[in-house]
Structure 1
Amino acid sequence: MNTSRRSLLKLMAGAAGGAMLGGIPLVQAAPRYPSHRPPVDKRKFVSPAVEDLMARTRAKIGDPELAWLFENCFPNTLDTTVQMGTLRGKPDTFIVTGDIDAMWLRDSSAQVWPYVALAKQDAGLRRLFHGLIQRHALCISIDPYANAFMPDPRAKTTLTWAQHDLTDMHPGVAERKWEIDSLCYPIRLAHAYWQATGDRQPFDDDWRAAMHKVLATFREQQRKHGPGPYHFQRSSAIPTDTLPLSGYGRPARPVGLIHSMFRPSDDACMYPLFIPSNLFAVSSLRQLAQLSIAVHGDRAFAAECTALADEVEQALQKYGVMHDEDGHEFWAYEVDGYGNQLFIDDANAPGLSSLAYLGCCRSDDARYQRSRTLAWSPRNPYFFRGRAAQGIGGPHEGLRMIWPMSIIMRALTSNDSSDIRQCLHWLKTTHSGTGFMHEAFDQDDPTHFTRPWFAWANALFGELIVQLATQRPELLRRA
């Protein structure tokens, strides 16, 4: 049942006040799992549709600790990271990534992804998405090579580590690491929003111009006619924070794949032809083609998007595939087009484990399944198995550090009930009493963790629980 914001707040306040008997408050013991959500009047955004879904989902969870984790995590983006207003006469939504006061195109798209299906029934959510889609378009128009942006599009970066980068820094940019997925995620979100609501309002001429810039940037970074304009260097003790060869990155043959200088972890690529993001680009370009025809009737632009998707897909089949000792195919993580191939997997998405989740392939695709299996094995140097859990990490936080996102992704892409139960157990026993997902934790000691406020991981966990409540409720009933 949808309620007004005012009645919803009154309902929440009454629930927070405790039970009543004849108008007299009952004295109650402190709950074992007290809510870690902000007070109702301190929440950045309140959605009746989200609150209603949370209540219905909570009723299906038999384990009180798991239910508590869900109630903390699922609304965390709305509770703590949303800044809404108007900009240039349009709705505007700016979403910080959590404990970093800047907006990543990738993270902001992923943080609100679990709410897209609810937008049709909630006008407030529709305005939130309208503003975010518009803000994404503005960010891309400022600089399609940037990964993170400032709330004020005229401001200089306040990120201390990015203030002296050697690159073509623009006002409004927080960090300028070129990552293919930074342009894919806004398309994925826009396409899903349009499919869920049929709303065409966000897709104005500014959005349309930004999408043309996306296509132009992808083509430019095929590097058929030289490296293009992007370069980046940073003075850092961390090698993966900067690029070699005057900031243009390591060499790769122009074989039709799109060059990406950084991974979705914000770490530099070893080989610039990053396979998961090229697969993501193929699916995103096809979504953009569909959206452009439906909303703008622009068949010429749609044909250009489809042609590039076809070209990249053909190059992926030729250069992105590896073979095991029995000749079976699996995806490489990065290649250079000269014959050098790297197999690892990183917890950040897109990665090899998340390809089906992002719609880059079917979940039962044989090549994907082999890639996923190898990613969760000693074949992947960033697969860690410890006393606390098993999972995938990456160079960003170093060895032994498991990212909860990898465990969540494993559960989201699994058809094995016992496997999903194991993932839920790991997630429930590694939050170190905080009630939230973290960026990473030590394989043997989950009290050693990074980023207590990481909204993307919280959103992804909430998405998993909602999916299980809908598709496999029996996995949540057991206490």
Structure 2
Amino acid sequence: MSVNLLALLALLCGIAIAQCPDYLQYSQSWHYPPSSGPRNISYMRPEPACRTFNMSFFEDGSSDAIFYSMSDFDLWRTFLNSYPNTLDTAIRWKGYAADSPDEELTFIVTGDIDAMWLRDSSNQMQSYLPLLTANSSADSLASLFRGVINLQARYLLTSPYCNAFQPPVESGIAPAKNPSASQDVVFPTYDNASVFECKYELDSLASFLQISAQYYNATGDAAFFGKHHWLEAINHVYQVFNDLYFSSTYDVNGQVKQPDYSFTRVSDRATETLANDGLGNPFKGGIGLFRSAFRPSDDATIYQYLIPSNMMLARYLEAAAPIMVALNDSESAVTSVHMTQLATIIRQGIEEHGIVTVGGKRVYAYEVDGYGSANIMDDANIPSLLSAPFFGYLDANDDVYQNTRALLLSYGNPYFMQGPVISAIGGPHQGPGYAWPMASIVRILTSDNDTEISEQLALIIDSTNTLGLIHESINTFNSSDYTRPWFSWANGLFGQMILDLYARKRHILGQSFPQAQQS
């Protein structure tokens, strides 16, 4: 639904658009009616006239079967609040390209930050894949997907090394200010009018492949990809991959090479800038892996071969290759072959350089540099090592993955946080003592253990501080100390997890989840 249509609907309902609350403020307060469960969880959806896109999943009876499968009202309320959060609150603008009247564009904010991340927007839409069907209508869920893909293609054609972007000029929305990035020194340079922040994160490029493949697999709409700028963007991104494959810190003579990308920021946080005057720590080229200057958390990597992001890239190169075949031209067919070959090279690189031995067991490292150094940890943000089966890189029963999982969910992972409120993986983005519910959700999505799933579900509900929204991170000893009250991706992921449990572990949804006794 476009913003103009939303405003018209609001007027017809007798509600002036100015009366719609600022959701950032709204998300931090408790609202009637209570959930009727022991936690009395708040109702957090905006009024229908104030929602940014109408998905009738909860209004037309589509969710009734899930509701009747649940016996815990707190669990149901958290699902009701969280699953539609992106559609209710984060579709900032939907319209068409100025130079192409049938090119749909969708600008999605991440929540409390008024910008569109490639990673977040892909994952925000991924939450609704179970509801996605082929539909040419401009007010359909399929149209939202197409609009996100088209806008991401535009961003990547101009700034493929950047991670977060401003509203398209067609929206009439003024660019958001980013004080942290105001004095960044970045190569290649970019335009602040279209870029919100330019941290090079390999998973941002993989996210474009992800949403493309997911839309295609759900709808079979191959014709869409032959229109507008998608193919051009794919070829451009593929050229970036070619450039990156041959990049390294030093040339064959030992001289420092001109970097493909560099980044410096004035900050009192080491994770906000790159070492060595923006080059990052040295890395050895030609080992089948691709560097990532920053992690999915937007924190700087220590060693630039980030294994989870390389896993994700391999997975979605494979998944997007059939689209190229479906376009039915010889050049695209050749590119499809190259994409699958590149995925094979990355998988070999991970096997050769991304697996290390810890405590006598083979595990995946989080980061490596090609010189033999490895960082043993995991971060809550997806892609993570924990999430590798979730995005389809490997099977959850894989021996190396199971070894890695056991390590990550223990004190062997320096960013595994434990406490009475929630025990989960965190990361340096918020620091020690703050666990991320997102990691608990991923733990459920990658587990077949009923006890583990039930325990994690109870902790997630407890961690919302009676608000019934999924926050970014939580103080493991104080549920009222949390970050990012409005984090749409995490909310959608929680809903996606409930749909997954309904399909494969429905008996768990029928349980009650007593409130934990917190010290």
Q: Flag whether TM exceeds 0.5 (same fold).
A: yes
**Inter-partner Cα distance in structure 1 for 2:57 and 2:422:** 34
Q: Aligned to 2:54, what secondary structure does the other structure show?
A: coil
Q: Secondary structure, in 3 states, of the residue corresponding to 1:174?
A: strand
SS in 2 for 1:438: coil
Pairing 1:134–2:144 present:
no
Once the two structures are superposed, the pairs formed by residues 345-360 of structure 1 within 5 Å of their partners are 345-360=378-393
Q: Deviation digits for residues 140-175 of structure 1, max 9, x if unmatched?
A: 112110000001359765212112111112240110
- Cα distance in 2, alignment partners of residues 464 and 250 from structure 1: 37
What is the DSSP-based 3-state SS (H/G/I as helix, E as strand, rest coil) of the residue aligned with 1:221?
helix
Q: Which letter does structure 2 place at the counterpart of 1:283?
A: R
Partner of 2:282: 251
Q: Which moved more, 1:157-166 or 1:102-111?
A: 157-166
Distance 1:193 1:58 in 2: 27
Q: Distance in 1 between matches of 2:146 and 2:50?
A: 23
Q: Which residue of 2 aligns with 1:102?
A: 115
- Read off the aligned partner of 1:404 and give its amino acid letter: P
Normalising by structure 1, we get a TM-score of 0.91
Runs of 4 or more above 6 Å deviation = none
The equivalent residue for 2:16 is: none
What's 1:25 paired with? none
Q: Does 2:489 correspond to 1:456?
A: yes
Moved more, 404-413 or 160-169: 160-169
Shift of 1:201: 4.2
Does the CA-based 8 Å contact 1:356-1:363 persist in structure 2? Answer: yes
1:109 deviates by 0.7
Cα 1:106–1:53 change in 2 (3 A) is farther
TM-score between both structures, scaled by the size of structure 2: 0.84
Q: Does 1:207 align with 2:230?
A: yes
Listed one character per residue, the Cα deviations across residues 361-387 of structure 1 (whole Å, up to 9, x for unaligned) are 111111111111111111100001112
- Range moving further from structure 2, 275-284 or 113-122: 113-122
> How many residues in Structure 1 have an aligned counterpart in Structure 2?
455
Q: How far does residue 269 in structure 1 lie from its aligned partner after superposition?
A: 0.3
Where does structure 1 lack aligned partners over 5 or more consecutive residues? 14-28
Query: What are the residue-to-residue correspondences of 1:378-389 with 2, within 5 Å?
Result: 378-389=411-422
- Taking the TM superposition and a 5 Å limit, the aligned residue runs for 1:69-88 are 69-82=78-91, 83-88=93-98
Q: Are the counterparts in 1 of residues 114 and 176 from structure 2 also a CA contact under 8 Å? A: no
Q: Which moved more, 1:225-234 or 1:334-343?
A: 225-234
> Contact between 1:49 and 1:121, CA under 8 Å: does it hold in 2?
no
SS in 2 for 1:169: coil
> Whole-Å Cα distance in 2 between the matches of residues 132 and 257 of structure 1?
28
Matched, 1:41 2:75: no
Distance 2:471 2:423 in 1: 15
Q: Mind listing any 5+ residue stretches in structure 2 that lack a counterpart?
A: 14-31, 252-256, 513-519
Determine the structure 2 residue equivalent to 1:172: 194
Output the CA distance in 1 between the equivalents of 2:364 and 2:344: 18
What corresponds to 2:23 in structure 1? none
Partner of 2:181: 162
Partner of residue 220, structure 2: 198
Report the Cα distance in structure 2 between the residues aligned to 1:50 and 1:256, rounded to whole angstroms. 46
* 3-state SS in 1 of match to 2:104: strand
Matched residues in 2 for 1:30 and 1:374: separation? Answer: 42
Correspondence for 1:240 among 259, 271, 279: 271
Pairs within 5 Å for 1:320-469: 320-326=354-360, 328-469=361-502
Counterpart for residue 318 of structure 1? 352
Q: Which 10-residue stretch deviates more, 355-364 or 111-120?
A: 111-120
Percent of aligned pairs with the same amino acid: 36
- Matching of residues 16-95 of structure 1 within 5 Å: 31=34, 32=36, 33=41, 35-49=43-57, 51=59, 52-82=61-91, 83-88=93-98, 89=101, 90-95=103-108
Q: Give how far 1:49 is off.
A: 4.5
Say whether residues 1:271 and 2:303 are aligned partners: yes
> SS of the residue aligned with 1:138?
helix
Q: Distance in 2 between matches of 1:60 and 1:121?
A: 28
Contact 1:157–1:175 at 8 Å: present in 2 too? Answer: no
